[in-house]
Structure formats: structure tokens, C-alpha cells
Amino acid sequence: MDAKRPQDLIYVIGETLDELGGSEWFAEHGAIGNKVPQVDVKKAIKKYRALHKAIQAGLIASCHDCSDGGLGVALIETAFAGGFGMNIDLKDVPYAARKK
């Protein structure tokens, strides 16, 4: 979970969608979110298997899920736990609006 070395790279697996329902941000602001994250099991299992292979091959120094507060919270927790700061440019985060 923690950053292991300065200058380690950060990769986002998957894409961010407009699904904030159930998020920490909504809870903090008293908002109701009807768009909760939906898992595409077929796509997810391929990503999880590829990640597992990379971990087994020693290619991954650490990883963190985005469940509790999304990408922002995951990055903060990783930086704090490792004792390093991070330079993050959110324009590079994969994003796609959910198709209706």
C-alpha cells in the first residue's frame, strides 16, 4: 500500500466514471448520489488477473484500491504511509462518462 521509493511511477488501472453515489465526498456534503459505481465483471477480472501476474513477477512495488474515497484518498494514503509526497497531474487520469 505504501510508496516504496522516491520517483516510483503511479499507474491507474481502469477508468474513472461519473459515479459518486456512496462516496465519501457525498457523505461529507450531505448529498445523495444515485449513480453508484458499477463493476463490469468481465473487464474487471481481466485487469485483476493481469495485476496479479505483475505482482507475482515482482513488477509492482505496492498497490492500493480506490474504494474508500476514490483516487484522491488512495493517493493520499499511499503517500502518507510511504512518507513521500507525490506530484500528480489529474488530466492524465483515464475518464469516461457512463453511457446511458
Let me know if residue 34 belongs to a domain: yes
pLDDT of residue 46: 95
User: Do the beta carbons of residue 22 and residue 35 sit within 8 Å?
Assistant: no
Taking 50 as the pLDDT cut, the residues of the chain under it are none
- Read off the amino acid at residue 53: K
CA distances from 20 to 16, 31, 96, 100 (A): 10, 10, 13, 16
**What integer pLDDT is reported at residue 99 of this predicted model?**
61
| Residue 37, domain member (yes or no) | yes
Could you tell me the pTM of the whole model? 0.75
pLDDT at 42: 93
Q: What is the pLDDT of residues 24-49, one digit of tens each?
A: 778 888 888 788 888 889 999 999 99
> Residue 67 carries which side chain, given as an amino acid letter?
S
Does residue 5 lie in a domain region? no
Full domain range(s) for residue 67:
24-92
Would you state the pLDDT for residue 100? 55
Amino acid 84: pLDDT: 84
Work out how many domains the chain is built from and give that number.
1
